[in-house]
Chains A and B, each alone.
Chain A
């Protein structure tokens, strides 16, 4: 069975600095999708960034980028120039195919200090 592990329950970063959130996963599939979702307090979960396993190039979305290491089954999220609005729970998620179920990690709570 596929599993997703986030080993950092909490992280803290100074405003304008860079932070990296870690995620590892386990699967026997060769093609799959990986996601980072953001869940602000009492607000809906939104997609931050996605990565298709068949793509070697790491995905980037503005200040957000990933380090995808397929052999190591690692998928970390880097947030550059952190902003107060980045404070939230971040979930790493895995999906075997488009439209299939997402398997989530336990989450990392990110706080941003002014």
Chain B
């Protein structure tokens, strides 16, 4: 069974440029999460989807961040424009319910210059 797939793994951009990250969760997992992980810290939730509905986006900086999960499967997280402080790892995870275990992708590491 394929795990959570994220792309790109690494991205370097100039500040004020846009960037997008893509995530494909494990097949059949209805819940999808985007987490932000700063260097040396624990992940923090940005947004959680139940199918195509964003059920928790209270921590998403909506002035520059947006996300979508149009068909309730894969998801895209966008930043426009990027700022220096956005340099971090963006983690995607999915969950099928049941045990509550989250399955994580390898993350997308963003560097903003």
Contacts and interface: CB of A to CB of B under 8 A. Distances in A.
Interface of A: 4, 33, 35, 42-47, 50, 91, 93, 95, 97-107
Contacts of B31: 99
Contacts of B50: 99
Nearest to B101: A47
Interface stretch (B20-28, B41-49, B70-78): B41-49
Interface string B36-71: 000011111100101000001000000000000000
B97 interface: yes
Interface of B: 3-4, 31, 33, 40-45, 48, 50, 56, 91, 93, 95, 97-102, 104-107
Contacts of A104: 42-44
Nearest to A97: B100
Of B31, B41, B43, B44, most buried by chain A (CB within 10 Å of CB) is: B43
Given A43-B106, A44-B106, A101-B48, A50 B42 contact: no
A105 B101 contact: no
Of B3, B40, B48, B102, most buried by chain A (CB within 10 Å of CB) is: B102
26 contacts: A35-B100, A43-B106, A44-B4, A44-B105, A45-B43, A45-B104, A46-B104, A47-B101, A50-B100, A91-B42, A97-B100, A98-B95, A98-B98, A99-B50, A99-B95, A100-B48, A101-B56, A102-B102, A104-B42, A104-B43, A106-B40, A106-B41, A106-B42, A107-B40, A107-B41, A107-B42
